[in-house]
């Protein structure tokens, strides 16, 4: 799934490949049908410790938060607040954000 972002889709694909292809930790990955084969290929060396759950992403509980919630999250991106100096405490570290429970 592609969403508007400050980085191109290719950069996210690269990061996803690095993470899924190198981290040995067991994973449960929720994805849509279109991405499942690609994710399984990236986890091929760890197939025995990977469970891929194919679902419609709008069927996940996080989709209940709605578009307004996700638009607000884009504005709270840590890198954005650090660059702008907003949301930082005296130490320069971003203040913790409240995350809704799933």
In tens digits, what is the pLDDT along the chain, a chain of 102 residues?
566 677 788 888 899 999 999 999 999 999 999 999 999 999 999 999 999 999 987 888 887 887 788 778 777 777 655 555 544 444 445 555 555 555
Nearest to 55 by CA among 32, 37, 38: 32
Beta carbons within 10 angstroms of residue 17's beta carbon? 13
Q: Residue 76: its pLDDT value, please? A: 77
Q: Residue 7: its pLDDT value, please? A: 78
Q: Residue 96: its pLDDT value, please? A: 52
Q: How far apart are CA 30 and CA 56, in angstroms?
A: 9
Q: Residue 21: its pLDDT value, please? A: 95
Helix, strand, coil shares of the chain, percent, nearest 5, are: 55, 10, 35
Q: Residue 72: its pLDDT value, please? A: 83
Give all strands (DSSP E) within 7-67, no chain letters. 27-31, 50-54
Instruction: Read off the pTM.
Output: 0.61
The two structure tokens encoding residue 53: 């759950």
Q: 3-class DSSP state for residue 94?
A: strand
Q: Residue 49: its pLDDT value, please? A: 96
Q: Residue 100: its pLDDT value, please? A: 57
């Amino acid at each position: 799934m592609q969403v508007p972002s400050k980085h191109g889709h290719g950069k996210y694909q690269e990061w996803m490949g690095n993470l899924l292809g190198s981290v040995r930790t067991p994973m449960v990955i929720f994805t849509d049908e279109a991405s499942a084969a690609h994710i399984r290929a990236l986890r091929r060396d760890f197939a025995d410790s990977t469970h891929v759950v194919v679902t419609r992403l709008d069927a996940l509980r996080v989709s209940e938060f709605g578009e307004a919630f996700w638009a607000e999250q884009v504005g709270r991106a840590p890198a954005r607040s650090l660059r702008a100096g907003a949301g930082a405490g005296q130490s320069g570290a971003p203040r913790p954000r409240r995350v809704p429970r799933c």
